[in-house]
A = this chain, B = another copy of it.
Amino acid sequence: MDGPAGIGQRIVAAIRQRIETGLDGPGTAMPSTRALAAEWGVSRTTVTAAYDQLIAEGYLEVRQGARARVAPGLGRGKAGPPAPPPATARLSGFGQRLAALPPLPAAGMDGLLADFRYGELAARDFPRMAWRQAVTAALLRPPGVLRYGDPAGSLRLRAALQGYLWRARGLRCTAEQIIIVNGSQQGIDLVARLLLDPGETVLMEDPGYALARHVFAALGAAVRPVTVDGEGMRTADLPPARLAYTTPSHQYPLGAVLSATRRRELLAWAARAGAHVIEDDYDSEYRYDIAPVPPLQAMDAPGDEAGRVLYLGTASKTLSPTLRLGWLVVPPGLADAFARAKRLADRHAPWLEQEALAALIEDGAYERHIRRARRLNADRRAALLAALSRHLGDSVMVEGAEAGLHVLAWLLDVPAGREAALVAAGRAAGIGLHPVTPLYAEGVPGRVGLVMGYAGLEVAAIERGVGVLAGVVRAVV
């Protein structure tokens, strides 16, 4: 700060402060450049530059040939009455509803022997080499001009996904029906904003994905819980609504596959009610004993303007939740509305991740990786199921193990009232336990169930963790 530029800035700051504090009031003439230059021991050029900056900032004014003066309206106490005492900011209805929602569980933490938190993936599963190559290749071949991209996502990625969704899920759509979103969370948010007005009804699986329910509740919609049983969401006698949220391939968290009868009932209801259905296909890549169940979207009218299903896929369970990459497949008549909403929300998804995922899909690396991840997670699942059976025997009942990356373990011997004690004792013993209770909107079950994710854990940690769990269960019963 001691070259000419530094001194110039000190002059600017000094004059600014005199004005700010009211020492030099509005209209006060500044010293001539010659006088000020002498005073500071700098050239007149430096002083002129300082005055120019203060003029640009509006502190000073100058008329042709005259000396610079403090601008009218400046100086202490000139800008209206003093500010009122600090008040907390008033939030919008959305903000207030959001603040009133129950807090979500804290983020995962390191240092536990085994944290059975759902949604985490082992970093060593990540296809690091393939991803790095794809990222490097993208960075080496940038477009000539960096500009905002297509709000719906890069056409290259959408074309690659179109093929992938057909191969992997039997899902038929055009690239124009695909909107690249920042993970399924943004997909749910965009659907809610575009199709749901405050006060309108949305049907939500109960128990179900809490952050979807929060989106609807924060928007001011009436969230109506729909009971889930062994065949998934109960679709008989659904009330009129604008929207329904469902996880038909593997109900989250209970794990049922929505039966074909209910799929038809749900689609017929949507057609009658003029409603839409969000199909959150969050983990369908993982299926262990049977082939993947086709998506609800494939039973709908794919490509038809009257399509009712908004299909949602994600890379959060196949690659990483930190990528923030997902895809919405919408009926053709809604594609433009979604592209507009995405542009308004954040212009478009980041370019680099889109390019890298497109490259991985194009050269088959994505599907090879999924096959590998499926094998790794099949091992983890087998270890979890075996350990639960070995350590807890008849006192545990497991649901939803056929697919996905979590199971629901009902601890039949633990009284419902001891749930908090169980979690605390588990934490003290080094394991993270996550009860299903917070995922219920109503009708909390009278027993203790744990959502046990295993994709972030090694087999050894799973086995040790379940051993610790068995001890903790005995201690709190």
Point out residues on A near B: beta carbons under 8 Å. 5, 8-9, 12, 19, 49, 52-53, 56-59, 71-74, 78-81, 83-95, 98-99, 101, 104, 107-108, 110, 117, 119-123, 126, 128, 131-132, 135-136, 139, 142-150, 181-183, 185-186, 189, 193-197, 211, 214-215, 218, 231, 242, 257-265, 267-269, 271-272, 274, 276, 289-291, 293-294, 301, 304-306, 320-324, 331, 333-334, 336-337, 340-341, 343-353, 402, 456
Is B291 touching A71 in the complex (CB atoms < 8 A)?
no
Q: Which residues of B are found within 8 Å of A5, using beta-carbon distances?
A: 291
Is B345 touching A345 in the complex (CB atoms < 8 A)?
yes
Q: Which residues of B are found within 8 Å of A73, using beta-carbon distances?
A: 261, 264-265
Is A331 touching B265 in the complex (CB atoms < 8 A)?
no
Cross-chain contact of A146 among B123, B301, B343, B402 (Cβ < 8 A):
B123
Is B107 touching A126 in the complex (CB atoms < 8 A)?
no
The answer for the CA separation of A350 and B146 in the assembled complex, in Å, is 19
Cross-chain contact of A306 among B87, B108, B346, B456 (Cβ < 8 A):
B87
Given contacts A195-B89, A257-B56, A333-B89, A148 and B119 within 8 Å (CB-CB): yes
Which of A83, A147, A182, A264 has most B Cβ within 10 Å?
A147
CB distance from A276 to the nearest CB of B (A): 7
Is B185 touching A334 in the complex (CB atoms < 8 A)?
no
Is A59 touching B122 in the complex (CB atoms < 8 A)?
no
The answer for the CA separation of A426 and B268 in the assembled complex, in Å, is 54
Is A149 touching B81 in the complex (CB atoms < 8 A)?
no
Is B58 touching A257 in the complex (CB atoms < 8 A)?
yes
Q: Which residues of B are found within 8 Å of A304, using beta-carbon distances?
A: 86
CB distance from A137 to the nearest CB of B (A): 11
The answer for the CA separation of A290 and B147 in the assembled complex, in Å, is 28
A-B contact pairs, 28 of them (CB 8 A): A12-B291, A53-B290, A58-B257, A58-B263, A78-B261, A80-B268, A83-B272, A84-B271, A86-B304, A89-B331, A92-B194, A94-B193, A95-B337, A99-B336, A99-B340, A108-B148, A120-B146, A128-B139, A132-B139, A146-B322, A146-B456, A148-B321, A148-B322, A182-B346, A183-B347, A211-B343, A345-B345, A346-B346
Is A146 touching B321 in the complex (CB atoms < 8 A)?
yes
